[in-house]
Amino acid sequence: MEKLNILVLEDDKLAQKVMAAQLAGHGVEIAGDLKTALKKLETARYDIGFFDLMLGPSDDYSGLKAIAAAAARGVYAVVVSSSDSNEIIDRAYELGARDFYAKGNEESNVAEILRKFAQGRKAAKASDIFSAAFITGDPALKEAVTEALKYAPSELPLMLLGPSGTGKTSLAKVLHEHSGREGAFVAINCSAYTEDLLEAELFGYRKGAFTGAADARKGRLLEAHKGTLFLDEIGTMSLNMQMKLLKAIEERSFYPLGSEKPERSDFRIISATLENPQELISRGKMRFDLFQRVHGYTVDLKPLSERPADVFLLAQHFMKAGRRLSFTAEARQRIADYSWPGNVRELKKFIDLLSSGGEGRVGLETVQKLLKGSPVRAASVAGGLEEVYTDALSRGLEAALDMVADELIGRNLKENGGVRTKTLADLKISTRLLYASLRRMGELPEEKK
Amino acid sequence: MTADASKLLHDLKSKCSSLKSAAELYKNCSAAEKKEMLALMTAAAEEITRTLAALSKLS
């Protein structure tokens, strides 16, 4: 870990000594009282500050003032307390504290805070991620991923939603790499197994547990010990299997098939599904209690057709591994208009095919041959009246107008933070129109007939 | 519980936590550090005793 500049505000001499020992290897300065701490904050730059709140037996939580001063200077302020009330801790967070730990067991507490700080700093450099590990130029997706990266070092489960091929596994790997967890990234696609096989895959089995189990095998849950278990297409898991998985998540222990000895595993879950989990629950396909356990923070990965700017960004990236290609204007237009139903995976295959072909400069004919009979992306308001008109001729006026309404409503909702009543007032529309649009955009379940 | 007793208990917990953490560190200290650490731990223990005495007067 890089050497950090750390300020410790602590009046107790023994506690000062303990903190200095735990932070050995970093640049540590100790302040025994508030005045010294404030002066140090004014004159030097610190990465982290550990602040005791009650400085002496009769003090009135004057450490809070140091937290406010530290937060104002961008210092990662940590409350160190022995038994302060929730009210005082809440006040510390309001003033800008970023973390908290109860005194005692400093060895693991301090190490955990330094780890979280380092991971948070890494997440702040997320812009690098978007040009290498998870390529996107889409502002909304960048924002969602940046937010998810903040939770990467925590124990919070993460859920990734989006159609097949949108990069859920890539994103799960990025989140694991930023988690600071020392264990492995273990991925399993739940839809690829029957119930029995999935159970054996997840929990492992003893030799002779079933016909064909010639040797014992470690399950994915155990392989993910101290790491990340990525459960892709979790919605396809049977309810029975969901119940078994839920028990393993809650107890952090499970029995391999044929074994009477429980295994323990400290894994963090990232799950993904193609379908809306709320709909899966309402259709009885997903247990609500499992959903509660796996959906801590959710990232919605839009299909490639909804982030057209990403098509050429990704294409450039895929070309780095192989041949550099260039496209004629017509070919570029056809690629841009294509709806990419297979998303990023389909684009990768497309570039791979072109790279292994004979042309360095790719023309419309080649592109059309590879994307033959494939759908064209729906028109958008951004394309102007001409595009809407073409859309109306193709799909009918009503469908084209619905698309216009959806884009305007979607934009307004985004601008006002999703407050629907404000959108009703801003756009002077009826509740009926708003809800019909939300249903078309997949924000609400379909109306029951 | 009075405000004074509450603050004394807070102080007591804080000092006990420090003493416990120092005891965990002690085994890995050099001889010179052990001497310094012991002095600090003894002073903390004396303060704990004084805090307990103050607490007993309040109850």
* Tokens 């193709």 -> residue: A394
**pLDDT category of residue A212 using cuts at 50, 70 and 90:** confident
Q: How do the domains of chain B map onto residue ranges? A: 3-58
Q: Between chains, do B22 and A104 touch, taking CB under 8 Å as contact?
A: no
Nearest chain B CA: its distance from A58 CA (Å):
7
Q: Which residue of B has its CA nearest to A80?
A: B14
Q: pLDDT at residue A449 above 50?
A: no
Angle at A44 between CA A40 and CA A49, to 5 degrees: 65
E-only strand ranges, A343-448: 361-362
Contact A119, A279 (CB under 8 A): no
Instruction: Please state the rounded mean pLDDT for residues A40-63.
Output: 88
Angstroms from B27 CA to nearest CA on chain A: 13
User: What number of other Cβ atoms are within 10 A of residue A423's Cβ?
Assistant: 22
What is the mean pLDDT of the segment spanning A287-304?
91
For residues A445 and A5, give the distance between their C-alpha atoms in angstroms, rounded to a whole number. Answer: 51
Counting residues of chain B whose pLDDT is more than 70, the rounded percentage is: 95
Tell whether the model's pLDDT for residue A410 goes beyond 90: no
Q: Where do the H-state alpha helices sit in chain B?
A: 3-26, 31-58
Residues of B in contact with A60 (CB under 8 A): none
Nearest Cα residue in chain B from A60: B7
For the cut 60, the answer to whether the pLDDT of residue A209 exceeds it is yes
Torsion of CA A32, A119, A150, A183, to 10 degrees: -130
Measured between beta carbons, the chain B residues lying within 8 angstroms of A105 are 21
Q: Does residue A227 register a pLDDT over 80?
A: yes
Of A26, A28, A32, nearest to A11 (Cα)? A32
Nearest to A153 by CA among A184, A170, A177, A186: A177
Quick one: average pLDDT of A204-216?
A: 80
| B40 contact residues in A (CB cutoff 8 A) | 13-14, 17
Could you report the per-residue pLDDT of A236-289, keeping only the tens digit for each? 999 999 999 999 999 989 999 888 889 999 999 999 998 889 988 998 989 999
Higher pLDDT, A207 or B59: A207
The most confident of A108-112, A119-123, A208-212, by mean pLDDT = A108-112
Segment among A72-76, A144-148, A357-361 with least mean pLDDT:
A357-361
- Contact residues for A145 (Cβ-Cβ < 8 A; gap 6+): A126, A129, A130, A134, A136, A171, A174, A299
Partner B contacted by A18 (CB < 8 A): yes
CA distance A163 to A177: 23
Find the residue in B nearest to A81 (Cα). Answer: B14
Best probe of the B interface among A10, A11, A17, A50, by most B CBs < 10 A, is A17
Q: How far is B48 from chain A (nearest CA, A)?
A: 11
DSSP letters of A42-68? HHS--SEEEEES--STT--STHHHHHH
**Which residues in chain A are closer than 8 Å to B41, comparing Cβ atoms?**
14
pLDDT, position B42: 96
Q: What six digits make up the tokens of A112?
A: 């955990």
- Is the pLDDT confidence value at A295 over 80? yes
Q: Is the pTM of this model over 0.90?
A: no
pLDDT band at A448 (very low <50, low <70, confident <90, very high): very low
Pairwise CB contact (< 8 Å): A18 & B13: no
Of A80, A6, A17, the closest CA to residue A44 belongs to: A6
Confidence of residue A124 (pLDDT cuts 50, 70, 90): low
Residues 6 or more apart whose Cβ sits within 8 Å of residue A406 = A437, A440, A441
Q: What is the mean pLDDT of chain A?
A: 85
DSSP state of A338: B
d(CA A110, CA A106) in angstroms, rounded, equals 6
State mean pLDDT over A96-112: 83
Give the pLDDT score at B38. Answer: 95
> Side-chain half-sphere of A168: how many Cα atoms within 13 Å?
28
Q: pLDDT value at position A368?
A: 84
Reading across the β-sheet that carries A27-31, which strands appear in turn? Answer: A27-31, A5-9, A48-52, A76-81, A99-102
Q: Kindly state whether A11 is in contact with chain B, defined as any CB-CB distance less than 8 angstroms.
A: no
Tell me the backbone φ, ψ of residue A415, rounded to 5 degrees: -65, -30
Lowest mean pLDDT among A85-94, A227-236, B33-42: A85-94
Residues in A closer than 8 angstroms to B15, CB to CB, are 12, 14
State the average pLDDT over residues A332-339. 85
Strand partners, A361: A326
Contact A57 B11 (CB under 8 A): yes
**Does ipTM exceed 0.95?**
no
Closest CA to A328 of A306, A359, A353: A359
What pLDDT, on a 0 to 100 scale, did the predictor assign at position A180?
Answer: 82
pLDDT greater than 70 at residue A375:
no
- Pairing relationship of beta strands A27-31 and A5-9 according to DSSP bridges: parallel
Predicted confidence band at A354 (pLDDT cuts at 50, 70, 90)? confident
**At A381, is the pLDDT very low, low, confident or very high (cuts 50, 70, 90)?**
low
Of residues A211 and A30, more confidence is placed in: A30
Residues A68, A100: contact at Cβ < 8 Å? no
